Amino acid sequence: MNAKALGLPGRILGVARLSDGAKGATTQRKIARKLPVQKIWSTTALVALQLAVLVGFVVLWEVAAEFKIIDPFFWSQPSSIWSTLVIFLTQGDAFTDIAFTFRSTIFGFIIGTTGGAVLGMSFWWSRNYAQIVQPYIICLESIPKLALAPLIVLVFGMGLSSKVATATALTVVVSTLTAYAGVQAVDRDQERLFYSLGASRWQVFKKLVVPSCIPWIVSILRVNIGLALTGSIVGEFVSSQHGLGRTILYAGSTYEISLVWVAVLILSALSMVMYVTVAWLEKVLRKGVVH
Amino acid sequence: MAVPDQTIPTHPAVEIQGVTLNYFTPDRETLALANVSLTVEQGEFVAIVGSSGCGKSTLLSLVSGLLPPSRGSIRIDGKEVAKPSPRVGYMFQKDTLLEWRTIIDNVLIGAELLGIDKIVARRRAEDLLVRYGLGDFLHSLPGQLSGGMRQRAALARTLCCEPDLLLLDEPFSALDYQTRLALSDEVAGILSAERKTVILVTHDIGEAISMANRVIVMSRRPGRIKSERKTDFPSFGPTRPTPFQARKCSEFANYFQTIWDELDIHQIH
Ligand SMILES: Nc1ncnc2c1ncn2[C@@H]1O[C@H](COP(=O)(O)OP(=O)(O)OP(=O)(O)O)[C@@H](O)[C@H]1O
Ligand SMILES: [Mg+2]
């Protein structure tokens, strides 16, 4: 009887049974301790460690460059990157560049996402139309859009519009396909319910198809902001008079490596700001859709 | 100046005459219903039972006007059905609540689509929901409700537009047995109080016998009407028993056995 009491419940339930006596209880407590429990550190400790890693990395880089362990000509070093950053931000037209890249990204993002969403949802209206257009969309998806960048710049010129166009090209197809997936996932029975209540097609579209597709479109926003930024930078690489992408290209070709790093840093900051904004927008939209 | 008592000619609520339906898909043609005729009187509660795929849902779609028949005619209140009408309430097997709308807004969808006076509809919707025990959940989202509550909300939505004819397609099939019994009791009470004409499709013979005045048995595909049977419970007395009481009446077992035999459930193809 004792053996039974010891063997079974502890392993399965891991609950201390008072009636089993001292020995049984200890065995079970030991078993309970073997459970893989991870201790979570406090947020302050985590942030402090994250900062320590960053500081350590910067210091290591600086020291390695100082002692010529890595070649500062190719790799630059934190101190000169910092002074370049200060110069870049205080003199010259840094903010023109930042604004240029920012604007083309945002425009490309908005045009690509809304255009794609509208196109994808329009497939709901006619199955024949969807069947005809779909192969082309899939074709477009398989083309590496960045390869088209030189062509886009030729067509749209050197100004902002060509960058917006590259950013749009990168985002529009994904958005279309996602919105179309949303359309295909519209609940058949809900559609029948609407029609049984005497709804017109426009009402079904407005009150059922669009709200059903919104979570799908929202899910693509964060991906699209990154794609749009890539698109506008590549557009600037091809040919441009402004922008952070153009700054990187220019600095690289004149071996001003610190400036390359500065532009990359600002670009990362810009990307982070946009990403956080879009993530926030996503949250608001999800709530809005839900309420 | 003789004013006749009954100037309005009374038509049956639903008249289905010689209806045949073919489904066409690119690879084949399915004969879903073959020459089905059925009449439902005003205020009658009719249940349709039949094996899976025999065309029960198809028949309801035809009556609702979502689908035109290949042959034959369907009349509601003596008028040929051409398109869906707000006088017919169709409740689907799934509750089809819109997840992004609150319960009250879900119930109001019909009024919204038809452009009915919002204030009146809202009052009625609130009233219905309170009566069905959802008074505390008017502004909750469907995701926060249990299966039975969702089904009640769907019923409130169906009844909110005050339809005269209700088409219920296995409305309780997603629920567990106990909830199902309780809810069918509730719904039968609600519907008989409102004197609605009802066509209920179900897999559950017991549900059909206990809830309906008449049970229609359909044959396997292509769907035909195999038998019709009035379910009276004289042993209970002059009034109709509630579904729960009906299950305990002595006639229940007899009806069950007969309908079971007619369904040929053991012959699965
Ligand atoms: N949209 C459709 N296209 C083609 N065939 C269909 C379609 N809907 C139903 N069918 C066919 O018609 C027949 C009847 O279908 P229906 O949905 O009316 O059956 P049911 O009696 O409601 O079955 P269940 O009890 O499983 O719901 C089935 O055999 C099905 O294959
Ligand atoms: Mg069905």
Q: Tens of pLDDT along B60-102? A: 999 999 999 999 999 998 888 888 888 899 998 888 999 999 9
Residue ranges per structural domain of chain A: 1-31, 45-71, 76-290
**At A2, is the pLDDT very low, low, confident or very high (cuts 50, 70, 90)?**
very low
Determine contact: A280 vs chain B, CB below 8 A. Answer: no
Distance from CA of A123 to the nearest CA of B (A): 20
Higher-pLDDT residue of B18 and A92 is B18
Q: Write out the DSSP string of B64-108.
A: HTSS--SEEEEEETTEE--S--TTEEEE-SS----TTS-HHHHHT
The closest residue, in CA terms, to atom 24 on ligand 1 is B52
* Mean pLDDT of the B227-247 span: 83
Query: Whole-model pTM?
Result: 0.79
- Please work out whether the CB of residue B213 comes within 6 Å of at least one atom of ligand 1: no
**How many C-beta atoms surround the C-beta of residue A157 within 10 A?**
12
Q: Write out the DSSP string of A201-250.
A: HHHHIIIIIHHHHHHHHHHHHHHHHHHHHHHHHHHHHHS-SSSHHHHHHH
**At A83, is the pLDDT very low, low, confident or very high (cuts 50, 70, 90)?**
very high
**At A30, is the pLDDT very low, low, confident or very high (cuts 50, 70, 90)?**
low
A44 burial class (0-12, 13-18, 19+ CB within 10 angstroms)? exposed
Total residues found in chain B within this entry: 269
In chain B, pLDDT over 90 holds for what percent of residues? 31
- Please work out whether the CB of residue B267 comes within 6 Å of at least one atom of ligand 1: no
CB B37 within 8 A of CB B225: yes
* Predicted ipTM of the assembly: 0.85
Q: What's the pLDDT at B7?
A: 53
- Of B23, B16, B50, B22, give the one whose Cα is nearest residue B34: B22
- Please work out whether the CB of residue B110 comes within 6 Å of at least one atom of ligand 1: no
* Mean pLDDT of the A131-142 span: 90
* Mean pLDDT of the B177-199 span: 85
* Mean pLDDT of the A258-266 span: 92
Q: What's the pLDDT at A13?
A: 41
Residue A21 has pLDDT above 50, yes or no: no
* Mean pLDDT of the A240-264 span: 91
Hey, CA dihedral for A187, A192, A195, A196, is it positive or negative? negative
Q: What's the pLDDT at A9?
A: 39
Q: What's the pLDDT at B131?
A: 83
In chain A, pLDDT over 90 holds for what percent of residues? 62
Q: Which of residues 206-265 of A touch B (CB under 8 A)?
A: 207-208, 211, 214
Residue A1 has pLDDT above 50, yes or no: no
- CA angle, residues A103, A106, A111, in degrees to nearest 5: 120
Residue A111 has pLDDT above 60, yes or no: yes
Choose from B96, B97, B173 for mutation: most chain A CBs within 10 A: B96
Higher-pLDDT residue of B67 and A36 is B67
Residue A33 has pLDDT above 80, yes or no: no
Residue B267 has pLDDT above 60, yes or no: no
Distances in whole angstroms, Cα of residue B195 to Cα of each of B128, B144, B162, B198, B213: 16, 32, 11, 9, 13
- CA angle, residues A282, A284, A288, in degrees to nearest 5: 115
Express each pLDDT in A199-220 by its tens digit.
999 999 999 999 999 889 988 9
Q: What's the pLDDT at B30?
A: 87
Express each pLDDT in B92-149 by its tens digit.
888 899 999 999 999 999 999 988 888 999 999 999 899 888 999 999 999 989 888 8
- Please work out whether the CB of residue B92 comes within 6 Å of at least one atom of ligand 1: no
* Average of per-residue pLDDT values in chain B: 86
**What does the alpha-carbon distance between residue A223 and residue A282 come to, in Å, rounded to a whole number?**
12
In chain A, pLDDT over 70 holds for what percent of residues? 87
* Mean pLDDT of the B238-267 span: 81
Which residues in chain B touch residue A190, judged by CB atoms under 8 angstroms apart? 96, 98
Residue A138 has pLDDT above 50, yes or no: yes
CB B225 within 8 A of CB B167: no
Token pair, residue B168, equals 């219920």
Taking the domain B12-87+203-269, which CATH number applies?
A: 3.40.50.300
Probe ligand 1: pick from B21, B28, B30, max atoms within 8 Å of CB? B30
**At A6, is the pLDDT very low, low, confident or very high (cuts 50, 70, 90)?**
very low
Total residues found in chain A within this entry: 291
**What does the alpha-carbon distance between residue B203 and residue B172 come to, in Å, rounded to a whole number?**
10
User: Do residue B66 and residue A196 have CB atoms under 8 angstroms apart?
Assistant: yes
- Of B10, B70, B8, B76, give the one whose Cα is nearest residue B38: B76
- Please work out whether the CB of residue B53 comes within 6 Å of at least one atom of ligand 1: yes
Which residues in chain A touch residue B64, judged by CB atoms under 8 angstroms apart? 196
Q: Which of A189, A194, A290 comes nearest B141 by C-beta?
A: A290
**What does the alpha-carbon distance between residue A105 and residue A227 come to, in Å, rounded to a whole number?**
9
**How many C-beta atoms surround the C-beta of residue B156 within 10 A?**
25
- Of B10, B1, B34, B53, give the one whose Cα is nearest residue B197: B10
Residue A11 has pLDDT above 50, yes or no: no
* Mean pLDDT of the B26-44 span: 89
Residue ranges per structural domain of chain B: 12-87+203-269
User: Do residue B92 and residue A192 have CB atoms under 8 angstroms apart?
Assistant: yes
Residue B189 has pLDDT above 70, yes or no: yes
* Mean pLDDT of the A263-287 span: 89
Q: What's the pLDDT at A86?
A: 92
- Of B181, B193, B171, give the one whose Cα is nearest residue B240: B193
Q: What's the pLDDT at B221?
A: 78
Token pair, residue A241, equals 């008079």
In chain B, pLDDT over 70 holds for what percent of residues? 95
Residue type, B52: S
Q: What are phi and psi of B161, to 5 degrees?
A: -85, 10
Strand order in the sheet with B197-202: B88-91, B165-169, B197-202, B45-50, B214-218, B225-230
Which CATH entry fits the domain spanning A76-290: 3.40.228.10, 3.30.43.10, 1.10.3720.10, 3.30.160.270?
1.10.3720.10
* Mean pLDDT of the A221-231 span: 92
Kindly give the distance from the C-alpha atom of residue B203 to the centroid of ligand 2, in angstroms, as a whole number.
9
The SS3 assignment for A132 reads helix
Q: What's the pLDDT at A119?
A: 94
Q: What is the DSSP letter of A76?
A: -
**At A31, is the pLDDT very low, low, confident or very high (cuts 50, 70, 90)?**
low
Helix (H) or strand (E) segment spanning residue A139: helix A127-142
**What does the alpha-carbon distance between residue A107 and residue A113 come to, in Å, rounded to a whole number?**
10
Residue A18 has pLDDT above 90, yes or no: no
- Of B35, B30, B29, B25, give the one whose Cα is nearest residue B53: B30
Q: What are phi and psi of B10, to 5 degrees?
A: -90, 120
**How many C-beta atoms surround the C-beta of residue B68 within 10 A?**
12
Give B215's strand partners: B47, B229
Q: Write out the DSSP string of chain B.
A: ----S--SPPPPSEEEEEEEEEEEETTEEEEEEEEEEEEE-TT-EEEEEE-TTSSHHHHHHHHHTSS--SEEEEEETTEE--S--TTEEEE-SS----TTS-HHHHHTHHHHHHT--HHHHHHHHHHHHHHTT-GGGTTS-GGGS-HHHHHHHHHHHHHHT--SEEEEESTTTTS-HHHHHHHHHHHHHHHHHTT-EEEEEES-HHHHHHH-SEEEEEPSSSB-EEEEEE---GGG-SSPPPHHHHTTSHHHHHHHHHHHHHHTTT---
* Mean pLDDT of the A71-96 span: 89
* Mean pLDDT of the A54-58 span: 95
* Mean pLDDT of the B6-24 span: 82
